[in-house]
Amino acid sequence: MIRFARFAFLVLGSAAVLVAAEPSPTPSRSTPEQSQFDFVVGNWLVRDSSGHVVGTTTFSKEYGGCVLIERWRGVGPAGEGLGVIGYRPASKTWHRDFIDHGGFVLAFDGQRDGAAMVMTGKEYQPDVVRMHRVTWTPRSNGSIEERWQTSTDEGRSWDMHFYGLLERIAE
């Protein structure tokens, strides 16, 4: 009987410690402005302009709904990448830091333009400064059009770096 009592005390005590150690969910602190980019939240199959699958990407709201985390998984040599996206209330703009498996790092800033989210950033290379502009546009069928353009003439002209279509897939 004493063994059982010790065992029961140990089990109940361990359960209490585990429950107490569980982090409580962060309460939502997001503002309506921080919901402007919510149309990307979810799991997506990404196709290129030819319709070929090039990867998947997942956007999740974290930290009380104030931060979007993007996890990119490409097919073949496209590799993986991580984006952290947040709204800056003081400037009423969005900021995105993106890094991929090869060490490519790019910071973007932008805002809503109608229904689309448009962000730009600069990549500094030894011989040139390349501007990047990414536009995500929700479509009526629930998909998202992504246009990633680059410019080496300070934005006077833009070349298509990547055109993709994000199609929602199961969670």
What totals of helices (H) and strands (E) does the chain contain, helices first? 1, 10
Task: Note the pLDDT of residue 86.
Answer: 95
Please state, in angstroms and rounded to a whole number, the distance separating the CA atoms of residues 158 and 121. 13
Predicted confidence at residue 32, as pLDDT, reads 83
Whole-model pTM: value is 0.80
Element (H, E) at 111: strand 105-113
Write down all domains in the chain, each with its CATH number in brackets. Answer: 33-169 (2.40.128.20)
* Amino acid 65: pLDDT: 87
pLDDT < 70 positions in the chain: 1-30
Pair 98, 80: CB distance under 8 Å: no
Continuous segment of H or E residues that includes residue 145: strand 144-151
Q: Is 12 strand, coil or helix?
A: helix
Task: Return all residues near 164 (Cβ < 8 A) that are at least 6 apart.
Answer: 46, 47, 48, 49, 54, 145, 146, 148
Rounded CA gap, 131 and 136, in Å? 17
Would you tell me how many other CB atoms lie within 10 Å of the CB of residue 27?
Answer: 7
Please report the sign of the dihedral spanned by the C-alpha atoms of residue 28, residue 33, residue 38, residue 40: negative
Amino acid at 119: M
pLDDT for residue 30: 66
Residue 28's pLDDT is 57
